[in-house]
Amino acid sequence: MGMGTQAGITRRNLLCAGLGGAVALRAAAPEKSRVVIASDPALRATFASPESARVLKLLDRAVQSFYAADSPLAAWKKIARPNEVVGLKVNCLSGRGAATSTVLVEAIGERLQQAGIPARNIVVWDRLNSDLESAGFQPASRKDRIRCLGNDSAGYGMDLAVFGSAGSLLSNTLTKTCDAVINLPVLKDHGIAGVTLALKNVFGAIHNPNKYHVNAGNPYIADVNMFPAIRQKIRLTICDAISAQYEGGPSYMPQWSWSFNGLLVARDPVALDYTGWQILERKRAEKGFKSLRDLHREPLYIATAADSAHRLGTNDPQRIDLVKV
């Protein structure tokens, strides 16, 4: 009996079958996007500032859990290498009350330094120096310490970034100064876009954010996130949900704010936005407010960001690995 007529399992067939199966399995079960919600109910009982040490512990818990690292420091070392310049994109437009907490930013700065990144390589930035000041940050440009820069002092580059319907100049801080960026939005409602979280927070990196609020920011918010410098440099999103706002945003409205006392951490901005949106919807329902869909400001840009033209992440709850710690 010749080998050529033998109807059996050959080594080649076996390898092909195995490889094909592995590919099929991989396609069938894509990797889930992890979103960690870390909370500390005692963090901020009133509208007073949260305690630094508690925020640090909460932050460690969130980041360690997200990276499934052995220690917080090991987790922080995964974010950036010591020779990299790390930007902390805060959200300051609405001033104190609805801005990224200075206590949280200080905690992140401290941990980054412990992870080997020198203070001079950490840049806190947002659109305007006046915005930073109104949120409690002190603009500083000395290069021997943590810098704090508004785009109005750092300037915008001359190269137009274009994707879909969006065309913008990008902040020099993002394109020239920083190697990596940690996005630090706030969990809050947005009067036009529905919610403003990870995806919307990058509007602070472009020169013309006012152009992109038409049609509830859809598809502009997703398009802006497709700019290569934004997509490639944002390594992690830590959403400040210590104090959150479910109505009246993005301006600070204390009557519609509450102490969520938590942080949302994710690498997938779409998954984080979807998760945050659901938190806000639940709070709205609890307080007797209509849903964003009923108010015609459902954040459709989140779905756009997940579509095949963008693929910025997933908004499918089945594909979000939600971890609460």
Partner 1 sequence: MTLRTLRRLSQILFLGLFALFVCTAALRNPFLETDPFIAFTNALATHALYRGLLWSLAILIPTLFLGRFFCGWICPLGTLNHWAGNIRSVAKSGRRRIQSNRYQPWQAFKYYFLLALLAAALLGSAIGGLFDPIVLAARSLALSVLPAGSYSLAHAGPLSYLLFSPQAHFRQGFLLGLLLILILALNFRITRFWCRALCPLGALLGLVSRWSILGLEKNQDQCGDCNRCLLHCQGGDDPIPGAHWRKSECHLCMNCVADCPESGIRFRFFSRTSASATAPNLIRRKLLTGVAAGAAAVPLLRANTGLDAEPHPRRIRPPAALNERQFLARCIRCAECIRVCPTNALQPALAEAGWEGIWTPVLAPRIGYCEPACTLCGQVCPTGAIWQFTAAEKGWAGTAAHPIRLGTAFYDRGRCLPWAMATECIVCEEWCPTSPKAIYLRPAEVTDSAGNAKQIQQPYLDPERCVGCGACEFACPVKGEPAIHVTSVGESRSPTNQILLRRAPKSVDWLPDTGDAPGWTKSGETRQFDPAGLWKYIDGDAERYLRAGVRRTLTATYRYRNTVEAVVDIHLMASPAAARAFFESEPAVGSRPVPLDDAARTYGQSLTFRRAAFFVRLVAYQDTPQTAPALLSLARAIDSRLTATNAITES
Which residue ranges make up the site for partner 1 (CB under 8 A)? Answer: 46-47, 93-97, 128, 165, 190-193, 196, 200, 203, 208-211, 213-215, 247-256, 287-289
Decide: 236 and 183 in contact? Cβ < 8 Å. Answer: yes
Closer to partner 1 by Cβ: residue 190 or 267: 190
User: To the nearest whole angstrom, how small is the minimum distance from the Cβ of residue 170 to partner 1?
Assistant: 15
What is the C-alpha end-to-end distance of the chain, expressed in Å? 65
Closer to partner 1 by Cβ: residue 73 or 289: 289
Task: Tell me which residue of 124, 121, 103 sits closest to 113, measured CA to CA.
Answer: 121
Closer to partner 1 by Cβ: residue 121 or 183: 183
User: To the nearest whole angstrom, how small is the minimum distance from the Cβ of residue 192 to partner 1?
Assistant: 5
Q: Outline where the chain has alpha helix (H).
A: 11-28, 52-67, 72-76, 102-114, 129-134, 151-154, 172, 198-201, 220-225, 228-233, 269-286, 300-306
Closer to partner 1 by Cβ: residue 78 or 207: 207
Tokens encoding 174: 């993002």
Q: Outline where 91-207 has alpha helix (H).
A: 102-114, 129-134, 151-154, 172, 198-201
User: To the nearest whole angstrom, how small is the minimum distance from the Cβ of residue 118 to partner 1?
Assistant: 33
User: To the nearest whole angstrom, how small is the minimum distance from the Cβ of residue 33 to partner 1?
Assistant: 26
Closer to partner 1 by Cβ: residue 91 or 315: 91
Closer to partner 1 by Cβ: residue 33 or 102: 102
User: To the nearest whole angstrom, how small is the minimum distance from the Cβ of residue 217 to partner 1?
Assistant: 8
Instruction: Give the DSSP letter string of 39-70.
Output: E-TTS-SSSSPPPHHHHHHHHHHHHHHHHT-S
Closer to partner 1 by Cβ: residue 92 or 104: 92
Task: Tell me which residue of 74, 71, 75, 63 sits closest to 104, measured CA to CA.
Answer: 63
User: To the nearest whole angstrom, how small is the minimum distance from the Cβ of residue 313 to partner 1?
Assistant: 22
User: To the nearest whole angstrom, how small is the minimum distance from the Cβ of residue 252 to partner 1?
Assistant: 6
Decide: 60 and 73 in contact? Cβ < 8 Å. Answer: no
- Cβ neighbours for 195, distance < 8 A, ≥ 6 positions apart: 188, 189, 249, 273, 276, 277, 280, 292, 299
